[in-house]
Amino acid sequence: MIKITKDFKTKNLIVNPDSLTFGRSAYLCYNTECIENAFKKNRLAKHLKTAVSEELKGQILRWVTKQ
């Protein structure tokens, strides 16, 4: 699973953070369809309660295809 966390202190989104990062998190599977669905209709943004950029989506998709 891919963990995306909104850091409590800095409010930045971090992909696969270390165990010292605390904040609101969401998990995505490594399937590209799953990732597309999470970004559809801002589902991920609503869950994390913050704006999520298309750049982050591209970054996650590139990272998944390299795995």
pLDDT value of residue 21: 87
* CATH code of the domain containing 29: 3.30.1230.10
Give the count of beta carbons closer than 10 Å to the beta carbon of residue 25.
14
Q: What is the block-wise mean pLDDT of the chain (67 residues), using blocks of 10 residues?
A: 92 86 92 90 92 90 84
- Look up the domain containing 22 and give its range: 2-66
**Domain count for the chain:** 1
